[in-house]
Amino acid sequence: MKDAADKRMTLSEAAQLVQSGDTVVGGGCCYSRTPWAMLLELVRAERRGLTLARNLMCYESELFLASETASKLVSSWVGIGLRWGIPKVFREYVERDPSIYEEWSHLSFGMRLMAGSMGMPFLPTASLLGSDLLDRLPAEHIRCPFTDQLLVAVPALVPDVALIHVQTADARGNAQIEGPAYMDVECARAANTVIVTAEEIVPSEAIVRTADRTVIPGFVVDAVVEVPFGSYPHECHGRYEADFDHFDGYTEMVTREGVAGVQAYLEETVTAPGSFAAFLDTVGASRLLEQRRRARELVAA
């Protein structure tokens, strides 16, 4: 797959690259540049028992648990943002069975992906030292062979699949990111299979003209899917703000109805529309364009 000259496909075709039971890492951070369309495609495709890893998780955490798409989550933080707090159903699941959630610190999680992306089985860090997190994690104390400094070694994370949403990519998978890169590059380099969704697929000539902005080379990518608003209702830097009203509606429903609220949300946004494009239609063009306008206010210099 990786050596194909044209890797364009649909979301549902890309979902075929993910097997039940896989470890899947998602790019972005919390509600920013989340590969939302692709995550929900895995719910639609009824994948089961995934391990979902993401540096900071938003409410995809409880969507995946409540739909049984994931049976385990790996992260450093789970929350929707100051205004909405921790996802209620995620909390219920973990309070019932703490073993379904593996908690790292942000950097130690990042060093696991960096190790994977470097082809190294471990990396050292000063994080986790002295904490109770360390006792519950598959990480080890290590001493520097030169200075004898006490450090923590974290094991490489080599996900089966990485889901990355970017602003632009070409048909071969060469991808460019605007704004913060989060851990997307490490995800793409570490994973064995890489699915890139992009706001826009652009001609290769456009990539070549700005080659020092390319952060993911096509030779690590297996699938490229053009998905405008592919992070919505989350944000995509420079393109659209997160839809906080949508978050309000979601959290109200889940506060009221718990896991049934989560399931109703999936019914509304995944099952009933039948496709991500049809879901965007239910949102409506004017609301999407308003999110775009709000993004422009924040990036215009």
Partner 1 sequence: MSGATPIELMTIAGSRLLRDGRVVFAGVGAPLEASVLAKRLHAPSLTIVLEGGSIGPRMLPGRLPVSTNEMRAAHDAFMLTSINDLFLYGQRGHYDYGFIGAGQLDQYGNVNTSYIGDPDAPKVRLPGSGGANDIVSSCCEVMIMTRHEPRRFVERVDFITSPGYLNGPESRRSAGLVRNRPVAVVTDMALLGFDEKTGRLRLDALQPGVTEEQVHANTGFELLVSEAIGELPPPTDQELAELRWLRDGNRIDTPQTREVTSAP
| Interaction site with a second copy (CB under 8 A) | 119-126, 138, 140, 142, 144-147, 149, 151, 153, 155, 177-181, 205, 208-209, 212-213, 301
219 contact, one of a second copy, partner 1, none, CB 5-8 Å limit per kind: partner 1
40 contact, one of partner 1, a second copy, none, CB 5-8 Å limit per kind: none
123 contact, one of partner 1, a second copy, none, CB 5-8 Å limit per kind: a second copy
Could you give the CA distance from residue 188 to residue 291 in angstroms, rounded to a whole number?
28
Which CB sits closer to a second copy, 123 or 221?
123
Give the phi and the psi of residue 122 in degrees, each rounded to 5.
Answer: -160, 165
| SS3 state at 231 | coil
Among the residue ranges 16-24, 43-51, 131-139, 224-232, the one whose residues contact partner 1 (CB under 8 A): 131-139
Q: Which of residues 103-122 bind partner 1 (CB under 8 A)?
A: 103-108, 110-111, 113-114, 116-120
User: Which of 127, 168, 193, 197 lies at the binding interface for partner 1 (CB under 8 A)?
Assistant: 127
Which CB sits closer to a second copy, 208 or 264?
208
Q: Which two tokens stand for residue 7?
A: 């890797």
User: Which of 23, 55, 167, 251 lies at the binding interface for partner 1 (CB under 8 A)?
Assistant: 55
Other beta carbons within 10 angstroms of residue 173's beta carbon come to 29
To the nearest whole angstrom, how small is the minimum distance from the Cβ of residue 139 to a second copy?
9
Q: Which of residues 171-230 bind partner 1 (CB under 8 A)?
A: 172, 174, 179-186, 189-190, 204, 207-208, 211-212, 214-215, 217-220
Could you give the CA distance from residue 198 to residue 164 in angstroms, rounded to a whole number?
8
Which CB sits closer to partner 1, 44 or 174?
174
Which CB sits closer to a second copy, 65 or 202?
202
Could you give the CA distance from residue 64 to residue 52 in angstroms, rounded to a whole number?
8
Site size toward partner 1, by CB under 8 A: 92
Which CB sits closer to partner 1, 3 or 138?
3
Residue partners of 248: CB distance under 8 A and separation at least 6:
84
Could you give the CA distance from residue 28 to residue 134 in angstroms, rounded to a whole number?
25
Could you give the CA distance from residue 193 to residue 280 in angstroms, rounded to a whole number?
27
Q: Are strands 161-169 and 140-143 parallel, antiparallel or unpaired?
A: unpaired
For residues 297 and 235, is the Cβ–Cβ distance under 8 A? no
Task: Tell me the CA distances in angstroms from 148 to 104, 112, 144, one per residue in order.
Answer: 24, 22, 5
Which CB sits closer to partner 1, 219 or 282?
219
